Amino acid sequence: MTTKPYAMQSPAAGPNVRNNSRAPQPVNTLAGRDLCSICDLSAADVRLILNTAHTVKARPAQYRHALASKQLVMFFEKDSLRTRLTFEVGINTLGGSAIFIDQTASRLGARETLADVAHNLERWVDVIVLRTYAHETITGMAGYARVPVVNALSDIEHPCQALTDIFTLEEHFGDLRGLKIAYVGDGNNVAHSLLLAAVLMGANITLASPEGYGPKPEFIAAAQAMAATPAGTLRCVTDPREAVAGADAVYTDAWASMGQEHEAEMRQTIFHAYQVNRELMALAAPHAVFMHCLPAHRGEEVTDEVIDSAHSVVFDQAENRMHVQKAILLLLLDAAQPDFGARKRSNIPTF
Burial of 245 (0-12, 13-18, 19+ CB in 10 A): middle
Catalytic residue among 165, 248, 253, 334: 253
Buried b (16+ CB within 10 A) or exposed e, 64-96: bbbbeebbbbbbbbbebebbbebbbebbebbbb
Annotated active-site residue in 64, 82, 135, 158? 158
Annotation marks residue 275 as catalytic: no
Question: Catalytic: 253?
Answer: yes
- Is 236 catalytic? The answer is no
**Catalytic option among 82, 84, 131, 292:** 131
Say whether 293 is catalytic: yes
Active-site pick, 62, 161, 317, 337 = 161
Query: Which one from 33, 64, 84, 321 is the annotated catalytic residue?
Result: 321
CA separation (Å) from 79 to 102, 103, 300?
A: 9, 9, 21
Asked about 321 being catalytic, the answer comes back as yes
40 is catalytic: no
Compute the distance between CA of residue 240 and CA of residue 219 in angstroms, rounded to an integer: 20
CA–CA dist 237, 207 (Å, integer): 6
- Active-site annotation holder among 33, 160, 293, 317: 293
Q: In what order do the strands lie in the sheet with 249-252?
A: 233-237, 204-208, 180-184, 249-252, 289-292
Of 189, 152, 154, whose CA–CA distance to 73 is shortest? 152
For the annotated catalytic residues, the residue numbers are 131, 158, 161, 253, 293, 321
